[in-house]
Amino acid sequence: MGMGKDIFEITVNGLKLVVIFLMMVQAVPILVWLERRGSAFIQDRLGPNRVGPLGLMQLLADAVKFLTKENFVPESAKTFLYYAAPVFALIPGAVAFSAIPMSTPIQVAAFEMFGSSWGPYTFLVQGYEIGIGIVFILGISSLASYTLLMAGFGSGNKYALMGALRASAQAISYELALGLSIVGIIMLYGTFDLTAMTLAQQGPLSFNFLGHNVVASWLPNWGIFYQPLAALLFFTTTFAESNRLPFDLAEGESELVAGFHTEYGGFKFNMFFIGEYGHMMIASGLMALFFFGGFSIPYVTVGELNEWATSIGFGSGLVALLHFLSFFIKFAFFMWVFIWVRWTLPRFRYDQLMAFGWKTLLPWALANTIATALIIYVASL
């Protein structure tokens, strides 16, 4: 999709990209605060509670600390790679997250401005729309492993290099299971388009099987009820892809000091942190989209909501807001699960991590794909 047909649409779409990026970056301090308070709650502690109300100003204090730290470069570092790695760590997460649809489009009627006629316009509540959305997101987000390699090799530190090698092996191992886990969803909905997948999950649970229409009006028509195993496999592999506990072997503090970012501090370290949270956001957004209806509201279709909004004198803006709130609630829940798991489960041993990926997740993902294909074939007879 192009940026627009005139200067107004191009400007709005450009601003939209900036806003989505800033939303992603500004969400990180809030998530860090939530993680600190959440871990304190789990471990029966208080967490940050001194700087500002509920410790919220601790985020500002941390930002000042990161920005004012000394700019240190190791003597044995490859300077270009050392500086480029944290910058590039931000890019895959930001680019991939912008392709996730967060609501229905906002329709703007034609209007007069500066003596000219403008519109009508349709503004998507996402950075940009690509017809093969899931392929694009997986392809872009997988580039993050290159930034870890750049950091590990560019630091000139043996612990950083070992962490980077672990991260690369882990990414390769778990991307296979991750990709296979969503093949069943793609076969089920018959499209790579993320908006089409979301719209296919509207209303109550209903499907055709052997010529009969099966309806379960008490359940929403979400992908989790068609692909429960795929949901479990996908969410598990996203922990490994995000380098989060119990799969954070690339930063195993007890073994590798701090892994690939051992030699990083200050703002450069903060950029790696933002990149990690960016991948958690992508995983949470895709989990909501594939298996929990995305921005759709349970039991209600977009058409029904549009009719209701029109009847009370509101247009697509109200509908888009309600759908965005629906997406945000699901998204926030899965972000909390990432935090919850980190402070609940212990870290795997490295051989256990690799064995789990190759010997458990990959065979189950392959079995789920084959079973889904067979069930779809039988159901269509």
Of all residues in the chain, the percent with pLDDT exceeding 70 is 97
pLDDT of 254 reads 62
Flag the least confident range among 162-176, 222-236, 327-341: 162-176
Summarised one tens digit per residue, pLDDT across range 61-87 is 888 887 888 777 777 778 888 888 888
The H or E element spanning position 87 is: helix 79-97
CB atoms within 10 A of CB 111: 12
Q: How far is 164 from 123, CA to CA, in rounded Å?
A: 40
pLDDT score, position 256: 65
> How confident is the model at residue 255, as a pLDDT?
65
Tell me which of 105-114, 347-356, 372-381 is least confident: 105-114
Global pTM reads 0.89
Angle, alpha carbons 78-84-86 (nearest 5°) = 115
For 113-224, where are the alpha helices, taking DSSP H only? 133-141, 144-154, 158-181, 183-189, 194-199
| Closest-CA residue to 240 (of 193, 148, 173, 296) | 173
Amino acid 226: pLDDT: 92
pLDDT digits (tens, 9 = 90+) for 129-186: 887 778 888 888 888 888 888 888 888 788 888 888 888 888 888 888 999 999 999 9
**Is a pLDDT exceeding 90 seen at residue 364?**
yes
Query: Tell me, what's the pLDDT at 79?
Result: 83
pLDDT at site 284: 94
Q: Model confidence at 253, in pLDDT bands (50, 70, 90)?
A: low
Q: What is the pLDDT of residue 162?
A: 84
**179-211 tens-digit pLDDT:** 999 999 999 998 888 999 999 998 888 888 777
**Domain residue ranges in the chain:** 62-379
pLDDT tens digit sequence for 263-280:
777 788 778 888 888 889
As a residue count, the chain comes to 381
pLDDT(88) > 80? yes
CA separation for the pair 103, 124 (Å, rounded):
8
Say if CB 55 and CB 33 are below 8 A apart.
yes
pLDDT interval class at 257 (50, 70, 90): low
Q: Tell me if 141 sits within 8 A of 241, measured CB to CB.
A: yes
Helix axes 133-141, 266-291, angle to 10 degrees: 150
Rounded mean pLDDT of the chain? Answer: 85
Task: Provide the b/e sequence for 225-261 (b: ≥16 CB within 10 Å).
Answer: ebbeebbbbbbbbbbbbbbbbbbbbbbbeeebbbbbb
Q: What does 282-312 look like in DSSP terms, one character per residue?
A: HHHHHHHHHHS-TTPPTT--HHHHHHHHHHT
CA distance linking residue 55 with residue 65, whole number of Å: 16
Is the predicted pLDDT of residue 381 greater than 90, yes or no? no
Q: How far apart are CA 199 and CA 248, in angstroms?
A: 35
